[in-house]
Structure 1
């Protein structure tokens, strides 16, 4: 039997979740001590911060600003921790994996359906590297324009959820301009102009051949989602 969660922007009942306790002095000391003594190597490999926008596949009217903190695994594969802001209070809302067109073309068609292209997102100026001059970011933007991403949102903070509620939602890359108020809010924050940035990227090209299985919704007018349901557990060997 499938579990039911709000999926249309409805806010989870706030009374179901107790008020959060502020950090105690002991917890703060533990965190500081751990920061000094532990390596935190995976986090220190994050080398880029990109800001863009994403759409929920089941409801394209729900558009959110997202901040991706990027680790480069190799030339063909990136992994991103996605937050709802780049402030100290930013909440981890999901994860995105990014592959080159060379890798994407080797995936099975059913897997390719879960991925989106990045070409329009970059050509339109929607994806930016905050506080990095365009001339410096240009080589990376040219590489990213030829990639594909798979982004699972695990915490729908835009609908007011106080905790990560329900199954993850598959997110889509914008294939048209997003809501004007969202773009303006970001432009004001970073003192930038998305319109001007778009004009400077006319020479950035996407993949030589955009794979038709990406951006599945655009061709088939259907979204892909996850439902949580009860299923039989596989038997396992019990050890004494």
Structure 2
């Protein structure tokens, strides 16, 4: 595989995005190591999958980012993911995604369904990968995930150069095979080179994964209506007295 041409956007890579603050002291390292030995950290230990894929901002789909999901399967119908901007030890936690089965999705109110995206195209196209895990091992999981829906909130817009999490969370959307929903080739090439994979080859190998019989049109709302969702903070009256039981 030839090395792709690297394209950069403001704030990507380099030290310029390191959050402000002093380097960790030796005492802090020792405290953290001691706490790690004595505490269970049970929720983190249940993260058992690493998924690399791509996402776009619902309010600006020209902004596309590579994402790394560390997945906990709560049960067969519900997963929760901590989302980072890389798989490096210095990766920044940029958001959270919840994933539900089609069975659960159909029980959600219509207004709630608008905030979710489908995963079928993302998986069938080879954009969704489990780095360094053989395709034959993850194929059964991919068959299940192709029928799921996700809701992904980005809390740290590192792609615009933010050194700290700034502003309200942003709703993210999944790539789709239409117009602006296509991921920029240079992003895919860079990811494929890093993991020595071919998204095109994965797409071919996943032809046998069945398409969902029906994808609820309330999901991927922008595809039907050409509109996304933007979150803003507004001042409101605070409830100052808790109700008496």
Paired with 1:18 and 1:173, the residues of 2 have a C-alpha distance of 28
- Cα deviation for residue 33 of structure 1 reads 0.4
CA distance in 1, matches of 2:51, 2:116: 18
Distance of 1:30 and 1:206 partners within structure 2 = 50
Residues 153-205 of structure 1 deviation map (CA, whole Å, 9 limit, x = unaligned): 00000111000000000000000331111001111100111110111011112
Partner residue, 2:51: 50
Moved over 4 A (4+): none
**1:238 deviation in Å?**
9.3
Q: Which runs of no fewer than 5 residues in structure 2 stay unpaired?
A: 1-8, 12-17
Counterpart position of 1:210? 215
- Normalised by the length of structure 1, the TM-score is 0.91
Question: Do the aligned partners of residues 140 and 237 (structure 1) sit closer, same or farther apart at CA in structure 2, a change above 3 Å counting?
Answer: closer
Q: Is the 8 A contact 2:86 2:92 kept in 1?
A: yes
| Residue aligned with 1:217, SS | helix
> What is the aligned length?
227
Q: Is the 8 A contact 1:147 1:207 kept in 2?
A: no
Give 1:19 deviation, angstroms. 3.6
Query: What is the CA–CA distance in structure 2 between the aligned matches of 1:18 and 1:169, rounded to whole Å?
Result: 20
Question: Residues 165 and 207 (structure 1 numbering): CA distance in 2 closer, same or farther, change over 3 Å?
Answer: same
Q: In 1, distance between residues paired with 2:242 and 2:157?
A: 38
Could you state the TM-score of these two structures normalised by the residue count of structure 2?
A: 0.89
* 1:185 aligned onto 2:214: no
- For 2:106, the equivalent position in structure 1 comes to 105
Shift of 1:120: 0.2
Q: For 1:64 and 1:205, how far apart are their aligned partners in 2?
A: 27
Structure 1: gaps of 5 or more residues: 1-8, 12-16
Supply the distance in 2 between the matched residues of 1:225 and 1:237 (Cα, whole angstroms): 31
What is the CA-CA distance between 1:91 and the residue it aligns to? Answer: 0.5
